[in-house]
Amino acid sequence: MALCSSVGALALPSELIVHIFSFLSDRDKLRASAVCSRWRECLFYPALWTELKLRVGGGTNGGGSGSEQTPRLEFLMRKFGSFVRELQLEFAPVDGYLSPLQHGMEAVESDPQFAKDAMVTYLDQVLCVLGSLRNNRNLQKLSLYGDTCILQDDGILDSSYLSQVDQGGKKMKEIQQLYDEILSNSRQMKWLSSAFMLGVVTPCSLASLSNPSTSSLEHLSLIDNQLPSLISTVELERLAHLQSLSLDFCDFTSDMCRLLACGDRAPLHRLSLLLNGAALDAKPLDGTAAEDDWKALVRRSTNLRVYIMAMDVCSQDLLRVLKPSVPVERIHLDSYSTLVTDGVVELISQQYHKTLSHFILMRDDAGFPDLSVNRNEDPLVLLAWRCVHLAVLIIHGYTVWSHNLVAISRLRGSNLKVLEVSEESIDFDPDQSVYIEGDPVHNLVKEVSLGLGRVWHPSMDNSVVLNEPTQHFHQMRIGGNDVFGTQIPLVFLNLEVDVPLLVKPIVEVFSLVYDTCMLTALQHNIWAQP
- Mean pLDDT (the chain, rounded): 79
Domains belonging to the chain, first-starting first, are 12-47+490-518 (no CATH), 49-95+113-242 (no CATH), 327-477 (3.80.10)
Residues 70-91: b if buried by 16+ CB within 10 A, e if exposed:
bebbbebbeebbbebbbbbbbb
DSSP 55-112: EEESGGGGTS-HHHHHHHHHHHHHHHTTT-SEEEEEEEPPTT-S-TTT--SHHHHH-H
| 430-484 pLDDT per residue, tens | 766 545 667 888 899 999 999 999 999 998 766 555 554 455 454 443 333 333 3
State yes or no: pLDDT of 329 exceeds 80.
Answer: yes
| 258-282 pLDDT per residue, tens | 999 999 999 999 999 999 888 888 8
Alpha-carbon span 154 to 163, nearest angstrom: 14
| 47-102 pLDDT per residue, tens | 888 888 887 765 444 444 466 777 878 888 888 888 899 998 887 665 444 333 33
Phi, psi of 51 (to 5 degrees): -120, 140
| 221-269 pLDDT per residue, tens | 988 766 778 899 999 999 999 999 999 999 999 999 999 999 999 999 9
For residues 217 and 239, the answer to whether their CB atoms sit within 8 Å is yes
| 407-420 pLDDT per residue, tens | 999 999 999 999 99
Q: What is the pLDDT of residue 25?
A: 82
When pLDDT is cut at 50, 70 and 90, the band that residue 330 belongs to is: very high
State yes or no: pLDDT of 44 exceeds 50.
Answer: yes
Instruction: Please enumerate in sequence order all residues whose Cβ is within 8 A of that of 139, keeping only pairs 6 or more positions apart, or say none.
Output: 84, 85, 86, 87, 133, 182, 186, 188, 189
Prediction pTM value: 0.81
